Amino acid sequence: MSNNSGYLIVSFVPLSVPTRFLSAATNKSRALENDFDVRVTNKNQEHCYFLLEKINENVFKIRLLTHPNHFVFCSNDNTRKFKDQFDVRTHAFDEQRNNWIIENAGWSCFTIRSETNPDQYLFIADDFSNQHDGEFDVRTHSNKDQEKNLWFIVTIPNIVHPYSSLQLYMIVQFRPAHINTNYLTICDSHPQFKSDYAAKITGVKNITTSFYLEQVHDNKYIIRSVSNPLQMLFAANDKQYNKWGDFDVRLHSFNETRNQWIIEQAGNNLWTIKSATNPDQFLFAVQDEANGKEFPVRTHPSIEDRNKWHIDGFKQ
């Protein structure tokens, strides 16, 4: 399998149950601390897509697309071992256990085995052993010649990945100038719009406060979450859930012009961020509506100091 561009977006479909998909339980069901459980689900969703990163000939890392800092790995330290089979999860540690040998087995199928334990093949436990909510468990075993070891690897040519390398675009953090110890953050699902994610201002810096900046043209950018790179910041100019005449600001996975923002210098290391579709609308943090832990973020047409931002890591 070639991978000359650095990363391929793929999904993994087991030959023995070709209507299902390899997935990571990002909802943290049956998680082990910060590790996501790996299972086979019957519904193709965002967490069924992975990034293949070529390491050596036939050796790849498998990153979770929605959480590209998470790697699929073979838990060969016997943690949560099932009989003589190793558990498979995702974690955020870059180590050799993340490496998988992927080989063509014929019939357009592939085997996937651990590089650290090359006798251990990734397989779907289609006998329902250790299943969870009707989803098949995924483990490794040493039974070489079994149909349950075979996987279709479906490349996704109709999805334009936001970066050919995870380091291609600037990674930045946004801090409102008037409350500059706080950060723009992607939070949980929006309470009113379940398919969108809420954007808030919080005081804790972590991966949810980091964003990719994709330059569209000149000073026009798309702001994409690092922790969930399918999600892009947009100004909800359809006026649903607006307050005081301001536009709500959320994140979603739809490619549209509302995702574009104009970034302009407004002083020494200060910037304004305004909607490209509604350039009179400036992004600002609503500091007078804090709930003790976080602040709302919206856009408004008012010219004021609250429109100014520090953008850590930004180079225009």
- Which amino acid would we find at residue 231? Q
- Contact by Cβ (8 Å): 233, 251: yes
Q: Does residue 158 have a pLDDT over 50?
A: no
Q: Which residue bears the tokens 């540690």?
A: 93
- Is the same domain home to 133 and 208? no
Q: Which among 270, 95, 290, 107 is positioned nearest to 200, based on CA atoms?
A: 290
pLDDT grade for 162, boundaries at 50, 70 and 90: very low
Residue 1 belongs to a domain:
no
Same domain flag for 139 and 176: no
User: 284: domain CATH number?
Assistant: 2.80.10.50
pLDDT at 12 over 80: yes
Domain containing 279: what range? 170-312
In this prediction, residues 73-99 reach a mean pLDDT of 93
Please tell me the distance from the alpha carbon of residue 223 to that of residue 213, in angstroms, as a whole number: 5
Check whether residue 284 and residue 227 sit in a common domain.
yes
* pTM listed for this prediction: 0.54
Based on the fold, state whether residues 112 and 28 are members of the same structural domain: yes
In a domain, 162, yes or no: no
Q: Mean pLDDT over all residues of the chain?
A: 87
The per-residue pLDDT for range 28-70, each reduced to its tens digit, is: 888 889 999 999 998 777 889 898 888 998 999 999 988 888 9
Q: Do residues 58 and 120 both lie within one domain?
A: yes
Identify the three-state secondary structure at position 207.
Answer: helix
**Same-domain status, 22 and 89:** yes
Number of domains in the chain: 2
- What is the per-residue pLDDT across 272-298, written as a single tens digit (0 to 9) for each? 999 999 999 999 999 887 677 899 999
* The one-letter amino acid at 45: Q
